Amino acid sequence: MQGTNIDLILDELENSNSNTTRFSENWSQGRSAYGGLAAAFAVTAMRKKLAQAQTIRSLMVSFIAPVAAGEVTVEASLLRQGKNVSQCSANVISQGQIALQAMAAFGNSREAFEPPRQAIKELPDRNSGIAFSDNSKQTPHFLQYFDGCWIGGGIPFSGNYKPFLNLWVRHKQDVSRFPVEKLLAIADIPPPVLLSHFDKPPVPASSLSWSLEFIEAPESISSEWFYMEFEVDAAADGYTQQSGKIYDESGRLIALTRQCMVYFG
């Protein structure tokens, strides 16, 4: 269905001369597009600016205004093309205004010293958690496109605050043609961990900024399931900072993430 299949939404953007695509309200999170999808729009447009394919190394996103369901346009620029690293920026335009700004660094692999990597992490059994569908207190629309489960404490609106949140998640749809965007759309699923303090929705909350660093090249990751660990670093005055680690299903650390979020209540 038009505007609901993430693969087709991104394909339309990738093949559009005007960097335009459309998505339905099913991908919304409150008044705005799910942040992982909106960030994917920016990355798709930035990749089109590269002279040749390069691996994304880092991404910085500012969420400025709601990205309303319907048509969106992305304005992308190549800021600098170096010998090994390319820097790009993008603005996601919704209803005539900039709703999201992003910058990304893409870089070639180089011969360099590599310290010992982290050991493969032993991950909890996916069957040991609480499925998204079994904890449906005000589930955002976009979550229907993912399978997953909460592991341990920190579950949103559980009324039992824990400073951490762990979960397993995967796409229900095939996003294999867009490996970077596939991981982006997974990485932004965790809500503010502080929502576990509240026992019932709604509690308005949203991201202000988001940074993501890629330890492994997304195009090299064959995993369908991903395990994520998030923790609260600080919270005061209605703002919270949380950081997280993302693993593939073998227990290999593949990305680091950090967000500044605002919440009310």
Domain borders along the chain are 6-108+120-263
pLDDT-derived band of residue 133, with 50, 70 and 90 as boundaries? confident
Contact 231, 243 (CB under 8 A): yes
pLDDT given at position 157: 87
Residue-wise pLDDT tens digits, 157-189 = 888 899 999 999 999 999 999 999 999 999 999
User: Which one is predicted more confidently, 45 or 155?
Assistant: 45
User: What mean pLDDT is reported for the chain?
Assistant: 93
pLDDT given at position 147: 95
Output phi, psi for 12, to 5 deg. -60, -45
Nearest to 178 by CA among 42, 32, 18: 42
Kindly tell me if the per-residue pLDDT of 39 is higher than 80. yes
CATH number at 6-108+120-263: 2.40.160.210
Tokens of 180: 């970077």
What mean pLDDT do residues 6-30 have? 96
pLDDT given at position 103: 98
- Give the Cβ contact number of residue 21 at 10 Å: 22
What mean pLDDT do residues 2-15 have? 92
pLDDT given at position 258: 97
pLDDT-derived band of residue 10, with 50, 70 and 90 as boundaries? very high
